Chains A and B, each alone.
Chain A
Amino acid sequence: MTDDKKISADEIALYDRQIRLWGIAAQTRMREANVLLITAGALSNEIAKNIVLAGIGSLTVLDSATVTPPDLGAQFFLEESDVGKNRAEAAVPRIQKLNTRVIVTADTSDITTKDAEYFSKFDIVVATELAASELITINEACRKYSKCFYAGGMSGLYGYIFVDLIEHSFSFERDQSNSATKLGPETSTRSVVDVKLKKGDGKLLKEVVTKKEVYKPLAESLKSDSLSKLRARSQLKVSPVLPAFRALWDFQSTTSRLPSPEDFSTFEELVHNNTRDLGLPVGIITPQFVKSFLSGVGAEISPVAAIIGGAMAQDILNVLGQRQQPIQNWVVYDCDTSTAPIYTL
């Protein structure tokens, strides 16, 4: 490793508490990563904070919108004097101050003007608060250049995360158990691809296990019928937040705007349709939930952004570190029930 790639003593002192968790090799990999964050809203503010503090290589924050007073509600990197400025340009200097070792840049372009090649420069692309068609286009561009893709969004007290890492391998160490770990598939997406033994303490050996997860692109995942195969009792427990965000995307694609509480009947029907398309019983959707979801559209709530942003950021760092099981592949967050179930679709 060349000298400038090696981690310095200053960095070790700064990152001490996290190096003790994931080790120097993972920290060195994080430090070389180039990440793109699209749409500088509350969710992006939180993701940016967590990954910049951790010490990634560089971050580009892209947004063509200008700061309005509601942005000050949950975006910690903005101040009153920023109203009227470009959102990315206003936030970037303050994000930069969190860690001067990370190169943080603002891009004020509209994301729809970027061609596929734009995304090839990044290791990880994080698309927040975008409509389905935009997400699918960006996801395809990422796949073309073998880049990792994250999508995330919020609506008041609810949120979602979608992950497409194409193919991702990770390795970890554990004590050998009574039976040795076998090679081969563990689930429909994950398999054990390598097991090495090494000396442990005392009689027990340690295993270094390498697993691989295979992912679907968003367009394909949206057509998944995995949930229809669940038993009836399990289907009743699926979170209504999952079809709600799909309904939000449907509404956006047909009307080119976000729904408001006045659109209740149309929106409720879309939620029901998407529930049925997922193979789930419509009974999991209540009118109160639909009202609650609708009332939050466009509303950014700080703790919700922090939870979803925290989970997304950690998964990004885990992917760069290559030592942890990543999200496979949807997470929905429901602040009413304080739950964050994972669905593999």
Chain B
Amino acid sequence: MTAMESSPTRKVALKRILSRPGPFVDELNPEAYEFLSNMKILVIGAGGLGCEILKNLALSGFTDIHVIDMDTIDISNLNRQFLFRPSDVGKPKALVAAEFVMKRVKGVTITPYYGKIQDKDESYYSQFGIVVCGLDSVEARRWINATLVDMVDAENPESLKPLIDGGTEGFKGQARVILPTLTSCYECSLDMLGTQQTFPICTIANTPRLPEHCIEWALALEWPKRFPDKKIDNDNPDHIQWLFETAIARASEFSIDGVTYSLTQGVAKNIIPAIASTNAIVAASCCSEALKIATSCNPYLNNYMMYSGNDSVYTYTFEHQKKEDCPVCGVVASDFWIEQDWTLGLLMEKLTTTQAVRIKSPSLRTAEKNLYLQSPPQLEEATRPNLSKLVTDLVKTGEEVSVTDPALPFSIKLRIRY
């Protein structure tokens, strides 16, 4: 029995919306609903956004949904990830979420995968009509964005998979629609991201003022000193307790208030506050776009919507421009200006901190030679001496340098200029 036959009037509202006359639906379009229920849609992430996305898609006529998530359920998820119960703690999110929604909404199939998005390749991603992301890391977003852009074959329109990306943090969030190679992609907007909160090392070492400085001191300076062979595990409550006690002792030395166990955990694990309503709003915004794109019942978001609940309700929608020199979807290499006295080592440091590049462990090559490779060890050793050489001795002005990083499935092409 198909979804339609088993509950003929469950979808009456959707069908009415999809068949209403208007500029985007010239004649009554009964096929729009069929198209919707035959489309394969992928949801990346089964957490705060993912749970909401799965619920909305299942109730919006999609019947063939896949979901990927590499995490297991934690007690702190339960204030918003409503498909999970206390008895589910420790189980894989993708599996539990899929089972819950399938039980609740008849006629919908959800195929879960408990693992990383990087485990799958183009042949997997090619089967979907739309990809909706509810991820919690910049790296993962860059990866899926680059993968989908790479898949686009101008000869084959079906190879273009719309990517709808949502993100939230506390009271704020955003939803955007990316049409790989046609519109601005995730990499194009990398420079919009804020810098990660880092404290200057001199403040941490010598002149702390905030409780966070004391915790960072315990984390970054004192732990490696006391336990040089042990890596800190921020899920281990004993480690957090040690950090807490060490930080509070330092704080009292400098008469600083505010070091708590909770703050210590927050700094160590880089915890981002999260609530149900922001996730509900952003996920639903993404799903309404998925519905519009899948059925052409309405113009879809062009292309970036920001939501802020900090000061009552505020949304701002704008078209983010595609970058010509975007390393992922652009066609030209981008210029990177340097000073003549920079060593290769300094250039690499600059690359890791430049907003628009954000590479953690870069390897650099020109067409003619390897400048510095992070691996394998023999090549790292062989190219290490280059780090102290001047860039001007290694690269001609205007020459293209290719920068790669193991976390990213693409290379950034920079034209070095001086």
Contact = CB atoms under 8 A, between A and B. Distances in A.
A74 B273 contact: no
Interface residues on B, range: 35 or more
A342 B315 CA distance: 10
A216 B121 CA distance: 58
Interface stretch (B74-82, B330-338, B378-386): B74-82
Contact of B56 (A17, A201, A306, A342): A306
Interface in B163-196: 170-171
Given A299-B13, A301-B14, A338 B301 contact: yes
Interface string A321-345: 0001111100100011111101000
Interface in B189-229: 209-210
Interface residues on A, range: 35 or more
A201 B59 CA distance: 49
A268 interface: no
A335 B301 CA distance: 10
Contact of B280 (A14, A16, A310): A310
Contacts of A288: 22-23
Contact of A17 (B8, B20, B79, B312): B79
A34 interface: no
Contact of A49 (B17, B82, B312): B82
A313 B277 contact: yes
Nearest to A55: B79
A295 interface: yes
B38 to A, nearest CB: 19
B273 A18 contact: yes
Contacts of A21: 170-171, 273-275
B125 to A, nearest CB: 24
A304 interface: yes
Nearest to B175: A338
A306 B273 contact: no
Contacts of A18: 79-80, 273-275
Interface string A153-171: 0001100000000000000
Contact of A13 (B14, B75, B85, B301): B75
B55 interface: yes
A76 B284 contact: no
Contact of A50 (B209, B273, B280): B280
A63 interface: no
B397 interface: no
Contacts of B287: 302-303, 306
B13 A300 contact: yes
21 contacts: A13-B75, A14-B75, A17-B79, A17-B271, A17-B272, A20-B273, A21-B171, A54-B276, A69-B7, A73-B10, A73-B13, A79-B104, A80-B106, A156-B13, A291-B21, A309-B280, A310-B281, A310-B284, A313-B276, A314-B171, A314-B277
Q: 4 smallest A-B Cβ distances: which pairs?
A: A306-B284, A310-B280, A299-B13, A314-B277
Interface of B: 6-14, 16-17, 20-23, 52, 55-56, 59-60, 75-76, 78-80, 82, 85, 104-106, 170-171, 209-210, 262, 266, 271-278, 280-281, 283-285, 287-289, 291, 298-299, 301, 305, 309-313, 315, 317
